[in-house]
Amino acid sequence: MRHIVAIGAVFVAGFAIMVLEIIGARYLGRDFGGSFYVWISQIGVILIALSLGYYVGGAFADRFQRAAFLGWLLIPTGVFTCLIPNFAAQVINWIIMRHPLDRPIPAIWQKLDPALGSGLIFLLPCFVLAMLSPYMIRLAASNLAQVGRISGLIYAASTVGSIAGVFVSGYILIDRMALSQIFRATGGLIILLAVMCLVMDRWWAKSAEGTNQK
């Protein structure tokens, strides 16, 4: 049962990451244009967030070993994601308006400005979401003999969630919802994931107590 819950958590996290990546690129394209550089920036920033999240999540998992720790990180992350429509326009406007209006934007900044915008808006939530995979491996693997199998299950579930996020955001959400609504719905999903981690922590703690008493 512990494995199933962990797989469900990383599936949701992978789904949310890809929704933020796809919808985020669409959002950035409104101001930076639908150029190749926007997609390169968004993909690159998300990959940076994933690599940092995997590393930091693994380190925190060894130190804290409690799902509640993830829950308390995910709550502000979900709120941050819900508020993206409220502050992202000002962030992007600052990036654009910092260039003098009486001269063309240098070619290097035409390439890097979308990366700056993506980093300021999307790096943090994707970084925290990426922490779930190594953390859940640590929590779900009850002994060393299971680590390889659990690792494969966790990363497979995260990838399947990401695949679902790509197709759902690209084929369904963009057609049926405004971008601001998608961000808020994704933030709500992250908050639900936080609650799931808090409940999971209490459930696993009680299970451990019951095992120790036998």
pLDDT tens-digit map of 176-192: 999 999 999 999 999 99
Q: What is the number of residues in the chain?
A: 214
Per-residue pLDDT for 211 more than 70?
Answer: no
Q: Terminus-to-terminus CA distance in the chain, angstroms?
A: 20
Residue range 103-139, pLDDT digits in tens: 888 888 888 999 999 999 999 999 999 999 999 988 8
pLDDT (tens digit per residue) in 51-78: 999 999 999 988 887 888 999 999 999 9
- Would you list the DSSP string of 158-180? HHHHHHHHHHHIIIIIHHHS-HH
4-48 pLDDT, tens per residue?
Answer: 888 999 999 999 999 999 999 999 988 887 778 899 999 999 999
Instruction: Yes or no: say if 160 and 12 are a contact pair by the CB < 8 Å rule.
Output: no
Are the C-beta atoms of 125 and 51 separated by less than 8 Å?
no
**pTM attached to this predicted model:** 0.91
pLDDT at residue 164 tops 80 = yes
Domains of the chain in start order, with CATH, are 2-213 (1.20.1250)
**Average pLDDT of every residue of the chain:** 89
Q: What pLDDT sits at residue 207?
A: 61
Q: CA 13 to CA 34: how far, in whole Å? A: 26
Half-sphere exposure (Cβ direction) of 95: Cα atoms closer than 13 Å = 22
Residue 204 reports pLDDT greater than 70: no
Per-residue pLDDT at 206: 66
State residue 210's pLDDT score: 53
Band of pLDDT at residue 148, cut at 50, 70 and 90: confident
